[in-house]
């Protein structure tokens, strides 16, 4: 849709400004995502590790109760 708008309504210098602004917005979004991922990775890893440990403990308890252990 943006391509259609850019080609039909914009031309020349206005088209170049539109492309520059759009590219700058994309670069800002990707840069923000990288910093967010670096900051959030630690908490996500600890949450997943904690859930994996809880599942492991539950499955061992189930095996003991079922007489498989």
How many CB atoms within 10 Å of residue 6?
15
Helix or strand run (H / E) with residue 60: helix 13-66
Residue 67: the pLDDT is 59
Record the pTM. Answer: 0.51
Which residue, among 69, 13, 56, has the nearest Cα to 21 in the 3D structure?
A: 13
The domain of 43 spans 21-69
Q: Residue 41 domain-assigned?
A: yes
Residue 64: the pLDDT is 56
Tell me how many domains the chain contains. 1
Q: Residue 12 domain-assigned?
A: no
Q: Residue 4 domain-assigned?
A: no
Residue 19: the pLDDT is 86
Residue 14: the pLDDT is 82
- For residue range 1-58, list pLDDT tens digits in order: 666 766 676 778 888 888 899 999 999 999 999 999 988 887 887 777 776 666 665 5
């Amino acid at each position: 849709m943006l391509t259609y708008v850019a080609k039909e309504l914009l031309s020349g210098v206005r088209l170049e400004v539109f492309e520059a602004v759009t590219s700058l917005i994309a670069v800002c979004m990707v840069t923000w995502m990288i910093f967010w991922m670096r900051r959030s990775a630690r908490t996500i890893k600890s949450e997943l590790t904690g859930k994996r440990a809880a599942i492991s403990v539950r499955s061992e308890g189930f095996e003991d109760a079922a007489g498989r252990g």
